[in-house]
A and B are shown apart, each in its own frame.
Chain A
Amino acid sequence: MKRRDFLRTTAAGAAGISLLGIPFATEAADKTIKLTILHTNDQHSRIDPFPDDGRAYGGMGGMARRASLISEIRKQEANVLLFDSGDIWQGTPYFNFFEGELEFKLMTQMQYDAATLGNHDFDNGLEGLQRQLPHAGFPFLSANYDFSETILKDAFKPYKVFEKQGLRVGVFGLGIQLKGLVGKMHYGQTVYLDPVQKAQEMVQVLRQQEKCHFVICLSHLGYSYVGEKIDDRKLAQRVSGIDLLLGGHTHTFMEVPEVIRHDSGHETMINQVGWSGLFLGRIDFAFQKKSKRKVGVHTAVLAVDNPVLTS
């Protein structure tokens, strides 16, 4: 639990951001709605834990364990949303032998609310994805892939709105440029659209038309690149109105979520939890019941084999 300790120190000390907040407890519980966001990214078909043979992260991960963790949290929290930011597939023989069927089934049992597509989710082509979609009891959200000229026309929606105690949470998905990353024969006529422009449209639709109080982006763009290539940090700087950006692709273990402030003053929190389901991301938000204004965000850093560190 070294990492845990380190996280705690960082959060309390150097990061600073954490010092700005009002503690959750000071908000009267009856005046707030608590929203618990759980998330994963880049699961890469890691059904079973990493073999505990001295390798990095040996003995960690495992979908049956994650399911227990999620179901415990669901018992404690009224408003849970569970998301994945893509690359569910590829990385263990489970994928080679069963083509992603088991991954989708288990995510369905865990009651994932939505996911977005990663580049590896195209690894068996559009046909391979189409074959397994019936096993996914959750929607894939994609706002910047145009599938209209493919067999997956109408298979995906750009966004979905979830309502929890009157709080409207709008969620949309963004994928990475497929050219060069995925074989052309695998993505076929799928068209990649500018994620910045699409994100702006999504924010507009979700806030204006759908009257959402909170906007979440599931992104498989990647956390941060040197150069012009679009990433989660650049997206947050260029698009105002995303509250939470749950990332993937770069397998980034973030010590703390990063908060990026747009010129407009809007703040976007970015988080990503490495890969392979080694960790489950958890972020708790509090909203004023009346105004649905966000009044708090904190993390129940529930170290699984330790007492609760913050609450």
Chain B
Amino acid sequence: MKKPLRTSLNLLLLLLPLVGCQPRVWQATTAAAATDVPVDHALKDHPQVETTIAPYRERVTAQMSEVIGYSEAELTKGEYQSPLGNFVVDLLLEESRELYGQPIDMAVATNGGFRSPIPEGKVTMGNAFELMPFENELVVLTLDGPTVQELFDFAASTRIAPMANATYTALDGKASNITINGKAFDPARHYTVLTSDYLANGGDHMTMFSKALKTEKVGMLMRDAIVRHIRELTASGKPIKPDTAPRVTFHPQP
């Protein structure tokens, strides 16, 4: 039913330039042109609006510049595993386990969700917001064995998915020698996997998550977990340390 409509529309659009030089082929219809006016440097701030914003901006700036921790090194992201990826997935698992109250086998995130590195030295609230500007929530998925295998194959082929509490070997886009929780992967059992609601809903093409047997919210935003963890480290006198122990065995591309 829709197809003829679309076809006629396309036909219409095709014909338009041909009839363009003739006067008024559509009744009461006239010019349509581009409409968006850029909001840029050429405009001055509106004084009243600027006055309204100012005190809010001061408070945001003050809160964003609060130092919440210290890092021994700059943590950046990379393929398969990285100091930044490892740090984040590990802390997500740790913080979620406390709140969730039931065992969670492993955690996975994607590099696309890490928007900025953690700097060496002082780490501010602003850094946490830059790292994780999204309001992504933590969820626990229950997956069957074959779906877990798909998840690891995804990580092996795309190289964008750091994992906590799991190791594997990546070869030709497939994952093998998988261990979860220190034990060999058992395709016959179910596993609980911590991730973000964004990925659980198929973000970054993680379509295997649509096969989840169960989805439960942890009740915490990813960024809140990051901030909380860094604060906890700081409170116990610890800096952020890069974890570079290998989790993924892979062979460099020729």
A residues at B contact (CB < 8 Å): 3-4, 7-8, 10-11, 14-24, 47-49, 59-69, 71, 90-91, 93-94, 96-98, 102, 105-106, 109-110, 123, 180, 183, 234, 237, 253-257, 259-261, 263, 267, 269, 271, 273-274, 277-283, 293-299, 301-305, 310
Contact = CB atoms under 8 A, between A and B. Distances in A.
In which size bucket is the chain B interface?
A: 35 or more
| Chain B binding surface SS class | mixed
Given A20-B16, A20-B30, A269-B32, 16 more contacts: A4-B38, A20-B25, A21-B31, A22-B31, A65-B44, A69-B37, A93-B129, A94-B60, A97-B59, A102-B56, A253-B36, A260-B9, A273-B36, A297-B30, A304-B38, A304-B39
Interface stretch (B46-54, B106-114, B246-254): B46-54
Contact of B43 (A20, A23, A296, A304): A304
In the complex, the 7 A-B pairs of residues with the closest C-beta atoms, listed nearest first: A21-B30, A21-B31, A16-B16, A67-B46, A19-B20, A305-B42, A279-B36
Nearest to B29: A267
Interface string B6-32: 101100110011011100111011111
A234 B40 CA distance: 33
Interface in B31-87: 31-46, 48-50, 52-53, 56-57, 59-60, 63-64
Nearest to A278: B39
Contacts of B5: 237, 263
B90 interface: no
Given A64-B53, A68-B45, A71-B46, A295 B34 contact: no
Query: Chain A CB within 10 Å — which of B46, B60, B133, B137 has the most?
Result: B46
B17 A14 contact: yes
B205 interface: no
20 contacts: A18-B31, A22-B24, A47-B53, A63-B53, A64-B53, A65-B39, A65-B43, A68-B43, A91-B133, A106-B49, A109-B46, A256-B32, A259-B32, A261-B9, A295-B28, A299-B33, A299-B34, A299-B35, A302-B37, A303-B37
Given A16-B20, A94-B60, A102-B52, A69 B43 contact: yes
Contacts of B12: 261
Query: Chain A CB within 10 Å — which of B2, B13, B35 has the most?
Result: B35
A93 B66 CA distance: 13
Contact of A298 (B2, B30, B41, B197): B30
